[in-house]
Structure 1
Amino acid sequence: MQQFDYEFLIIGQGIGGTSVAWHLHDSGKSFQIAGDSSMPSSSRVAAGIFNPLTGKKLVKTWLADDLFPYARTFYGGLEQRLGCKLMHLTPIYRPFRSIEEQNTYLAQTADPGISPYVASSPDRASEMPYVHADFGGLEVVQAGWIDLPALLDASRAYFQERNLYVEATFDPADLSRADEGIEWRGKRFKTVIFSQGFFALQNDWFNWLPFTPVKGQILEITTDVSLKPYIINQGIFALPVSKNRMKVGATYSWNPLDWEATEEATEELELKLRGLLNADYTLTAAHAGIRPSVRDRRPLIGIHPEFANVCIFNGLGTKGVTLAPFLAKEFCNHLIYGKELNPLVNIKRYFSLYFR
């Protein structure tokens, strides 16, 4: 019988790799995560907002009825296990831009698919005089944000204590694959799972997949105004992380794809923020990250077309905090029990790109 040090090697400890690790852990599977805290990470830059109703047309997030209940259970369980605050259930207030938009949105709330995510309480505009809301607004519930740095740090510490995490700069030359397993830095694994975010583009096993990475920037601001616990969303988001601090974002750009915050992106966000926020503020920081987005806006999950012990869990894009827990559960059920993956996320949909 083939002997392995661990069943799984997970490359990457962003929200994707961490979610997979927790599901493997709860399934009694052995694994080791290879993470590099010196490398930039989109998971650590992201605001971590989860929002069931998105876009200018108030569209329900894909798979919302499955994703959101599961995410709350997952993150709530981790809070108990890790002993720290991770999940902040915070409504999203969407100021109407016009009377026409007000009428359109209010008509949409009668849709039984949308109504569970809209508050029936009175308009909150009067509670937030620091927000430009001349036409009132809509309150989206079952929303909030995850403190991703806290989640990743606490998870890493938990796994490190159990020898399930190793701090390492991953070099593909250090990994060798054979039908009988994976070897990496003197250890033997049955299967490798790549969850590298943007850095998957440098991975020869999966760089044929249609990643369309997008750079995004967010700001941190302080204000003397006492902020209410509502995320404001109108073209950009303004997320209160304390009574006097906000995160503001985000931009979308494709050139250059680097991790540097720019004055141009800062000016773009501040222009939009002045149209949203009726209060003075001080800019304290700017951060940029590269989202691992995909051409069809669906994650890239599954098993390599040729090598059954080489897998990927990536492409979570802008909705990683809601997608990662549910899809990690589905992916682990696929690997452990052979349960079929949703074809809309399974990389089988792109196998033709590999074999052409």
Structure 2
Amino acid sequence: MKISEYDYLIIGQGVAGTTLAWHLIQAGKRVLVVGDSSRPSASNVAAGIYNPLTGRKLVKTWLADEIFPYAVRFYNQIGESLSVQLVYPQNIFRPYRSSEERDRYLSYVSDGDLAEYIAEESDSQAKVKGLNAPHGGLEVKGSGWVDLKELIKNSKNYFIENNQYAESSFETRDLLISDKRVTWKGVDAGKVIFCQGYDARENTLFNWLPFNPVKGQILDVTFDDYSADKIVNQGIFILPSLTKTEYRVGATYSWHDLDWESTEDGRAYLENKLQPLVPGSYTINKQQAGIRPSCKDRRPLVGMHPEHKAVGIFNGLGTKGVTLAPYFANEFVNHLCEGTKLNPEANIARYFSLYYH
């Protein structure tokens, strides 16, 4: 077999592998993405919501001021290149659970650091037809969702057309590593970057990292009386789909029973959260499960192996992968190409002691 030469071999074509590949291609690098369509992927299940203010205490997401604008620009740029819309800006309506919560949230809003993300306040449930929100709610702006399925599908087609994609399963034992290069099944590359999501736990090169994967389940639902043009978030999210009649409802969080199967317990949990919000009737059309590749400190896992200088990882993006992926792909590519420093909170060097232990 003739040896094919690339600068970078990327293993995995979820949101991590896809965004990293695009950044390397834009940097003029020769890239080969290895994807295995037979494997389940969290990116194909994820709702793709980006939300700058999270949690009951309305906390600004880590690095929100830098990460969110960058992600939106990146996805819009890629969407333009692929002639497909990927970004759907939508406000997030957060119904107050009580008048006390309303007062508390409004005190948070007076914080100048959050003000830019707050739209005008709603004091009526009439904002969203069929929603039970007697105390009104708060609208968050600078939010929306990214169509990750379209991103991955159209990017894959682009990579195939440009001889930048190989459909194949991957076994670490098939990888030959030298000081400056790697070889895999007749492919010679300067570096290999693993973007395997949950599957990285089985990768003997990086299984020492403290992965803490989280299983999540979502429902696709048709409501009889509910209608919204924005995302609703109160413990769960209700996301309008492009069909205007179906909505996605999610998500569960489970650190055990880590498989890709949807469960009755997962559905019951989501329905118990949904029914007080939307008391009208609805039909569940589909239920899906995915495993988010999270890390114990809830920060990405980015960087090069402590011993093998031609081997790197881009993983651990967790529940906020849709916004973390573009920003840290850009940072990683700048590090690889120009030697700039990685954010120490994301750099896997923070865990090198586990490797040498």
Shorter-chain TM-score range: over 0.9
Tell me the equivalent position of 2:59: 59
In structure 2, the residue matched to 1:288 is: 289
Q: How does 1:77-226 map to 2 (within 5 A)?
A: 77-120=77-120, 122-123=122-123, 125-225=125-225
The answer to whether structure 1 residue 229 and structure 2 residue 229 are counterparts is: yes
Q: Name the % identity.
A: 52
Instruction: Verify the 8 A CA contact 1:226 1:244 in the aligned structure 2.
Output: no
Given residue 99 of structure 2, which amino acid in structure 1 is its aligned partner?
I
| Unaligned segments of structure 2, at least 5 residues | none
CA distance in 2, matches of 1:202, 1:124: 50
Taking the aligned partners of 2:163 and 2:120, their CA distance within structure 1 comes to 49
Whether contact under 8 Å (2:94, 2:139) holds in the other structure is yes
Q: Which amino acid aligns with 1:127?
A: K
CA contact (8 A) 1:34 1:166 kept: yes
Distance, in Å, in 1 between the alignment partners of 2:320 and 2:268 is 25
For structure 1, which segment, 45-54 or 220-229, has the greater mean C-alpha deviation from structure 2 after superposition?
A: 220-229
| CA drift at 1:217 | 0.5
Distance in 2 between residues matched to 1:227 and 1:8, nearest whole Å: 46
Once the two structures are superposed, residues 210-263 of structure 1 have per-residue CA deviations (whole angstroms, 9 ceiling, x without a partner) of 001111101111123362211110001111103211111111112211000001
Unpaired runs of at least 5, structure 1: none
Contact preservation (8 Å) 1:79, 1:86: yes
Cα contact 1:221–1:285 (8 A) shared by 2:
yes
Q: Is the 8 A contact 2:4 2:186 kept in 1?
A: no
Runs of 4+ more than 3 Å apart:
121-124
2:129, 2:227 within 8 Å by CA — same for their partners in 1?
A: no
Shift of 1:122: 4.6
Give the Å deviation of 1:79.
1.4
Contact persistence 2:124–2:134 (CA under 8 A): no
Q: Deviations over 1:182-232 (max 9, x none)?
A: 101111001000000000000011000000111110111112336221111
SS in 2 for 1:117: coil
SS of the residue corresponding to residue 221 of structure 1 reads strand
Partner of 1:270: 271
Aligned length: 354
Partner of residue 23, structure 2: 23
In structure 1, the residue matched to 2:312 is 311
Structure 1 counterpart SS, 2:93: strand
Distance 1:276 1:337 in 2: 50
TM-score, scaled to structure 2: 0.97
Deviation larger for 47-56 or 219-228: 219-228
- Equivalent residues of 1:331, 1:341 under 8 A apart: yes
1:278–1:315 Cα change, 3 Å: same
CA–CA separation in structure 2 for the residues paired with 1:262 and 1:118: 36
TM-score (norm 1): 0.97
Q: 1:124 to 1:156 in 2, by over 3 A?
A: farther
RMSD: 1.2
Separation of aligned partners in 1, 2:124 and 2:116:
18
